[in-house]
Amino acid sequence: MSTNKVIHALYNDDDILMDAVKKVRAEHHHIEEVFTPFPVHGLDKALGLAPTRLAITAFLYGITGTAVSTWLTWYTMIADWPQDIGGKPSFSWLENMPAFVPILFELTVFFAAHLMVITFFMRSRLWPFKEAENPDPRTTDDHFLMEIPVEGNEDELKALLESTGAVEINVVEKH
């Protein structure tokens, strides 16, 4: 198992963190991860992260739910066991479709929501009983942590991070 050094720079204000991220990126250093106690607006852009494609998957999951619910209502009420309920004809799905709208809507939302949660957990690698990867418990309360890999430039990075307003800088071995 290989180990490598990373620098953990702690900040106590999100605005200072944002300025620090921009300054570190302007100096062409790679920021491995940023840990925050709450979502920081614009941090993903400042880190240079690509936009998420989860909205596309949500749309596709919704389409899947609509298709399944369309097939389910056709199969159960038209093909498998047609019934004359309130004088409605049981030979045409289109003529009965207004009665199926709640089922279509609910299964569309059900598929989109549940499959999005599963996709999010898989994409984030949040498996059941997974150990927490938070390097400092203060980042769940009131501190912000920027993690930068050290590639032979430890002193330069420390000086840069001190100039950005870091309240604490630690060099640690990451496993």
Rounded-to-integer distance, Cα 63 and Cα 111, Å: 9
Residues 6+ apart with CB under 8 A from 92: 78
CB 9 within 8 A of CB 32: no
pLDDT digits (tens), the chain, 175 positions: 455 889 999 999 999 999 999 999 999 999 999 999 999 999 999 999 998 888 899 999 999 999 999 999 999 888 888 777 776 667 788 888 888 899 999 999 999 999 999 998 998 888 888 888 888 889 889 999 999 999 888 888 899 999 999 999 999 888 6
Residues 6+ apart with CB under 8 A from 69: 100, 103, 104, 106, 107, 108
Tokens (6 digits) for 122:
């898989």
Task: Report DSSP letters for the chain, one per residue.
Answer: ---EEEEEEEES-HHHHHHHHHHHHHTTPPP-EEE-SS--TTHHHHHTPPPP-HHHHHHHHHHHHHHHHHHHHHIIIIIIS----TT--SS-HHHHHHHHHHHHHHHHHHHHHHHHHHHHHHHTT--TTPPP--S-GGGGTT-EEEEEE-SS-HHHHHHHHHHTT-SEEEEEEE-
Q: Which long-range contacts (CB under 8 A, 24 or more apart) does 152-160 make?
A: 153/29, 154/5, 154/7, 157/7, 157/29, 158/7, 160/23, 160/24, 160/27, 160/29
- Per residue in 60-86, pLDDT tens? 999 999 999 999 999 988 888 877 777
* Domains of the chain with CATH codes: 4-51+135-174 (3.30.70.260), 54-123 (no CATH)
pLDDT at 90: 72
Query: Could you give phi then psi for residue 149, rounded to 5 degrees?
Result: -70, 140
